[in-house]
Chain A
């Protein structure tokens, strides 16, 4: 507040004017049937606020810029670096191209994301929630728009309470207009991941884009506007399952945003008077700054609670206040349960002042411990396995489907013929000619349906770049070579001008 900013000479003994803030979203304050009480987070600056700005810019930057990065894959393939081409069932990620049957790579990425979340949570609590979750990022962005137009906490609260006037309407209109613009840009960017971005943006603006594009943008615009503009902390408190699961992910070595009650209590707004009266005083000056800045509307001094998203803004607010009154930083800090217990024991054994002096900063042993090592090990293992398999995977595949009805046909010369549907998948960006060859099955010959003139034990098949070629193939075995029942043989497809080759089992059926 303005008075505090001017008053640079406050000392530990001087009273600080407390902020009139209450934790409206703490469970006891939440009536089951009451309407949401609006939260007006106060502006704060400090290390974690800066970190949050950096992560926000990075996340939004990646989200908005990625679809516009180009990547040359030759004339036959799209030149968008990241593209989920649903219509043609291809997924492009820079140098990687994934066909639908290779979807396990996406599953692997999701598993890595899950394990990564476990790892981060076991090290730094709900860092995902506090810094990188889209709900947090967009809410942060919306709040900063609000703050820019309407002013900081007090101004916003005054405006909210004020009767409707021209000035209020104008400010609100501007805020909501900017919110809607951000929402449209958010929904709009999403669709560019699914089609060529420059083409789609032209179609979109000239109203020639497919209806699904407009629907998607409309839905995402609405969700962004509602979630980040109105529901905010309610999404985290009521809708998201992660706060409920996090209890299982945290242990006594996880960093959580902690109010160090052992040095803060008893709180005292008028320290000097209390000291003079010989009452015990803690470091907490009951200024309520931590409550005023909290975007979740809670009081961190109530302890770890599921509403807390670990954004650490209260740490910034408290540290600033501690600097002002000349007390040591870290009254609210990232601390592990183990350290917290050690500090309490220390405070009891010596004094809170001594324990404050000994207060531990973040320590490597928090991070490197069996649990995090296992998560990291699994995470890297899957990552490595995917990298190895990506670099070794075949860009050629052969599918064989035997006719079910009839299983075999006896021809007039007594030979037996089987029909197959064969698919050759050329997963490279260049047209290739393959040799399809029979291995085993004495005397057998094959030919393409409708092309009986060219028959033999091997055929040449040209397959267009990045395409699947499907054809019907007949294989027949002469009368004297046919064995009753089932016979196994191999079909081999080999790149005529390259090293790739795939062998598949096949069956040949004849009358019993």
Chain B
């Protein structure tokens, strides 16, 4: 195409004859590029975003400097926002928290609304601190007690649970911890193998399980002499000493004959840390209410 054929507009730019749009003046193998203007709405939107972007960097932290970024006029920071949210939540809960701190456990339990709040808090504290041993549903596992049932080693009243939580069980760092130790009747040669087997038969009989009646009758005598002091004559256990009830269907270390013999021979002793150095008294109260409310909590004597 010769220069003479070109249509030109006022500013001397070539105008494409088919579309009537000016071209950029570039040609590639005879193909010309149209200089199509941007749609106006697009252009204005673009300018608006530029202005918005600049305003944003002035209003909010944006420009990196040597040691930190510009703070922004609004003084906003995500960390600050989180702190504010947490502070607001704390403030909103402060009334309930302080009532839980001040009121006795029984009073909290009587207040339906407060109890629901305390139990919800107790549950989350339980999942963080307790579920590692007792399980997320508090159902325990082998060697770790199930907290849903109605069988308690050291007592299942609110106060007893709170004490256990505070001081732990056989927890050497707390002087007030709950301590008891069952003699290793086999390992320390207090009883011989035969006597232990007879005693185990009697224990099975107490729990209503399959047993050899003749051996159990002999075992009853040995039980009375060696075991009844802590476990009780009928094997009903003793919360004061953390002695488990033997006449029920719940076995911490297993209810099979072998497991019972093993426990008499060389007993296992569970350890639980005391939590008062790590958790606030309020959280411990919430935990006690949660555990008590799992379904097996005992009513206090008073």
Binding site for B on A (CB under 8 A): 32-33, 35, 403-406, 409-414, 417, 419, 449-450, 474, 479
| CB–CB B149/A412 < 8 A | yes
Nearest residue (CB) in B for A410 is B249
| CB–CB A33/B295 < 8 A | no
Binding site for A on B (CB under 8 A): 36-40, 109, 135-139, 146, 148-151, 208, 245, 248-250, 293, 295-296
Sorted from nearest, which 6 A-B pairs have the closest CB atoms?
A: A405-B137, A412-B248, A406-B139, A414-B249, A409-B148, A412-B151
Nearest residue (CB) in B for A32 is B39
- For the complex, what is the distance from the CA of A32 to the CA of B40, rounded to whole Å? 10
By a CB distance below 8 angstroms, the chain B residues around A412 are 149-151, 245, 248-250
- For the complex, what is the distance from the CA of A32 to the CA of B41, rounded to whole Å? 11
- For the complex, what is the distance from the CA of A220 to the CA of B31, rounded to whole Å? 49
| CB–CB A405/B295 < 8 A | no
A322 to chain B, nearest CB (A): 40
- The contact of B146 among A403, A404, A406, A449, by CB within 8 Å, is A406
- A to B CB contacts below 8 Å, 7 in the list: A409-B146, A409-B149, A410-B249, A411-B151, A411-B250, A412-B249, A417-B148
By a CB distance below 8 angstroms, the chain A residues around B151 are 411-412
| CB–CB A410/B149 < 8 A | yes
A12 to chain B, nearest CB (A): 43
| CB–CB A403/B39 < 8 A | no
B145 to chain A, nearest CB (A): 12
B46 to chain A, nearest CB (A): 15
- For the complex, what is the distance from the CA of A404 to the CA of B135, rounded to whole Å? 12
B57 to chain A, nearest CB (A): 26
| CB–CB A33/B37 < 8 A | yes
> With A33-B38, A35-B40 given, can you name 14 additional A-B contacts, CB distance below 8 Å?
A32-B39, A33-B36, A406-B135, A406-B146, A409-B139, A409-B146, A409-B148, A410-B249, A411-B150, A412-B249, A412-B250, A414-B249, A419-B295, A474-B295
- For the complex, what is the distance from the CA of A483 to the CA of B157, rounded to whole Å? 31
- The contact of B293 among A35, A450, A479, by CB within 8 Å, is A450
Q: How many A-B residue pairs have CB under 8 A?
A: 58
A250 to chain B, nearest CB (A): 31
- For the complex, what is the distance from the CA of A36 to the CA of B39, rounded to whole Å? 12
- For the complex, what is the distance from the CA of A419 to the CA of B293, rounded to whole Å? 12
| CB–CB B248/A403 < 8 A | no
- For the complex, what is the distance from the CA of A412 to the CA of B156, rounded to whole Å? 13
By a CB distance below 8 angstroms, the chain A residues around B135 are 405-406
- For the complex, what is the distance from the CA of A474 to the CA of B295, rounded to whole Å? 8
Q: Looking at chain A's contact residues, is the secondary structure mostly helix, strand, loop, or mixed? A: loop
A32, A409, A417, A449: most-surrounded residue (chain B CB, <10 A): A409
A449, A474, A479: most-surrounded residue (chain B CB, <10 A): A449
By a CB distance below 8 angstroms, the chain B residues around A405 are 135-137, 139
- The contact of B149 among A33, A35, A411, by CB within 8 Å, is A411
By a CB distance below 8 angstroms, the chain B residues around A419 are 148, 295
B142 to chain A, nearest CB (A): 14
By a CB distance below 8 angstroms, the chain A residues around B137 are 403-406
Nearest residue (CB) in A for B247 is A412
- The contact of B250 among A32, A35, A410, A474, by CB within 8 Å, is A410
| CB–CB A449/B295 < 8 A | yes
By a CB distance below 8 angstroms, the chain B residues around A406 are 135, 137-139, 146, 148
- For the complex, what is the distance from the CA of A406 to the CA of B295, rounded to whole Å? 12
- For the complex, what is the distance from the CA of A474 to the CA of B151, rounded to whole Å? 17
Nearest residue (CB) in A for B148 is A409
B20 to chain A, nearest CB (A): 10
Nearest residue (CB) in A for B43 is A33
By a CB distance below 8 angstroms, the chain B residues around A33 are 36-40
By a CB distance below 8 angstroms, the chain A residues around B148 are 406, 409, 417, 419
| CB–CB B249/A409 < 8 A | no
- For the complex, what is the distance from the CA of A203 to the CA of B150, rounded to whole Å? 55
- For the complex, what is the distance from the CA of A123 to the CA of B268, rounded to whole Å? 86
A32, A35, A403, A411: most-surrounded residue (chain B CB, <10 A): A411
- For the complex, what is the distance from the CA of A406 to the CA of B39, rounded to whole Å? 64
By a CB distance below 8 angstroms, the chain B residues around A474 are 295
- The contact of B248 among A32, A35, A413, A450, by CB within 8 Å, is A413
B157 to chain A, nearest CB (A): 14
- For the complex, what is the distance from the CA of A404 to the CA of B139, rounded to whole Å? 11
By a CB distance below 8 angstroms, the chain A residues around B293 are 449-450
By a CB distance below 8 angstroms, the chain B residues around A414 are 208, 248-249
| CB–CB B139/A417 < 8 A | no
| CB–CB A417/B249 < 8 A | no
- For the complex, what is the distance from the CA of A162 to the CA of B40, rounded to whole Å? 25
- For the complex, what is the distance from the CA of A327 to the CA of B95, rounded to whole Å? 86
By a CB distance below 8 angstroms, the chain A residues around B295 are 409, 417, 419, 449, 474
By a CB distance below 8 angstroms, the chain A residues around B250 are 410-412
- For the complex, what is the distance from the CA of A96 to the CA of B40, rounded to whole Å? 50
- For the complex, what is the distance from the CA of A456 to the CA of B161, rounded to whole Å? 28
B247 to chain A, nearest CB (A): 9
Nearest residue (CB) in A for B136 is A405
Nearest residue (CB) in B for A403 is B137
By a CB distance below 8 angstroms, the chain B residues around A410 are 146, 149, 249-250
- For the complex, what is the distance from the CA of A291 to the CA of B118, rounded to whole Å? 74
- For the complex, what is the distance from the CA of A417 to the CA of B37, rounded to whole Å? 77
By a CB distance below 8 angstroms, the chain B residues around A417 are 148-149, 295
- For the complex, what is the distance from the CA of A403 to the CA of B39, rounded to whole Å? 61
A413 to chain B, nearest CB (A): 7
A38 to chain B, nearest CB (A): 15
By a CB distance below 8 angstroms, the chain B residues around A411 are 149-151, 249-250, 296
- For the complex, what is the distance from the CA of A3 to the CA of B77, rounded to whole Å? 71
By a CB distance below 8 angstroms, the chain A residues around B39 are 32-33
- For the complex, what is the distance from the CA of A450 to the CA of B115, rounded to whole Å? 11
Nearest residue (CB) in B for A35 is B40
- For the complex, what is the distance from the CA of A53 to the CA of B146, rounded to whole Å? 75
- For the complex, what is the distance from the CA of A410 to the CA of B251, rounded to whole Å? 10
By a CB distance below 8 angstroms, the chain A residues around B248 are 412-414
- For the complex, what is the distance from the CA of A404 to the CA of B138, rounded to whole Å? 12
A248 to chain B, nearest CB (A): 29
B137, B148, B248: most-surrounded residue (chain A CB, <10 A): B148
- For the complex, what is the distance from the CA of A411 to the CA of B298, rounded to whole Å? 13
- For the complex, what is the distance from the CA of A144 to the CA of B174, rounded to whole Å? 86
A464 to chain B, nearest CB (A): 14
B42 to chain A, nearest CB (A): 9
B149 to chain A, nearest CB (A): 5
Nearest residue (CB) in A for B139 is A406
- For the complex, what is the distance from the CA of A405 to the CA of B293, rounded to whole Å? 15
By a CB distance below 8 angstroms, the chain A residues around B109 are 450
- For the complex, what is the distance from the CA of A172 to the CA of B15, rounded to whole Å? 40
- The contact of B249 among A35, A413, A449, A450, by CB within 8 Å, is A413
Nearest residue (CB) in A for B39 is A33
By a CB distance below 8 angstroms, the chain B residues around A450 are 109, 293
A62 to chain B, nearest CB (A): 34
By a CB distance below 8 angstroms, the chain B residues around A449 are 293, 295
- For the complex, what is the distance from the CA of A405 to the CA of B135, rounded to whole Å? 9
- For the complex, what is the distance from the CA of A405 to the CA of B123, rounded to whole Å? 13
A269 to chain B, nearest CB (A): 31
- For the complex, what is the distance from the CA of A406 to the CA of B136, rounded to whole Å? 9
- For the complex, what is the distance from the CA of A474 to the CA of B245, rounded to whole Å? 24
